[in-house]
Amino acid sequence: MKEAMPAYPDDDDMPGKNDAQKNYATVSLCCLSVTNPFRNKIIQIVAVNPWFDRFILFVILVNCIFLALDKEVEVITENNEQIDFIFLNIYTMEMVLKIIAMGFFMRAHSYLRDSWNILDFMVVILGWVSKVFDSGDISAIKVIRILRPLRTIN
């Protein structure tokens, strides 16, 4: 009898929908459905590929090491702006990929519906605000960036 029923986008038993796609909004950014090939490829990278999370956790670990050695090692202190910019770009790419895969905030299971992603979003936005407004050495932003390793608990 279930085969005769039409498959609605929010139906969990939708044919062709794998387990990785079940935890994402049916539409992302008001135009990309789960069946969109571009979004589907991003979902495969973000959700299915275990190396994506491993890479991001490795970047977080390296970032913490650089933050700890900021005033201790002269090479890191001299190139602090470039190092921060590289990490900020990596975190921005992670955020953009997850927003494309999950949706931004309007539907269930979207990016800003997860508290850890809200933390990541705030870190990235504050990072770009500090770059645009030339805030110098704001220690509050560095404190927020230190919170990123808490993701390993999740």
What CATH number is given to the structural domain containing 116?
Answer: 1.20.120.350
Determine the Cα–Cα distance for residues 136 and 118; give it in Å rounded to an integer: 24
Residue 21: predicted pLDDT: 46
| Residue 32 backbone dihedrals phi, psi, to 5 degrees | -105, 110
d(CA 119, CA 112): 9
Whether residue 3 lies inside any domain: the answer is: no
The rounded distance, in Å, linking the Cα atoms of 61 and 39 is: 28
pLDDT for the residue 13:
44
Q: Rounded to whole angstroms, how far apart are CA atoms 34 and 45? A: 14
- Tally Cβ neighbours within 10 Å of residue 118: 13
Per residue of the chain (154 residues), what is the pLDDT tens digit?
334 333 434 444 444 444 444 577 788 888 888 888 998 899 999 988 899 989 998 998 898 888 888 888 888 888 888 888 899 899 999 999 999 988 888 877 788 888 888 988 988 888 888 788 766 655 556 666 666 666 656 5
Assigned domain for 138 exists: yes
Containing structural domain, residue 144: 32-153
- Counted domains in the chain: 1
* pTM reported for the whole predicted model: 0.76
Q: Is residue 9 part of a domain?
A: no
Whether 113 is in a domain gets the answer: yes
Tokens encoding 72? 């201790």
Residue 63 lies in a domain: yes
Whether 76 contacts 70, CB under 8 Å: yes
Q: Give me the pLDDT at residue 1, please.
A: 37
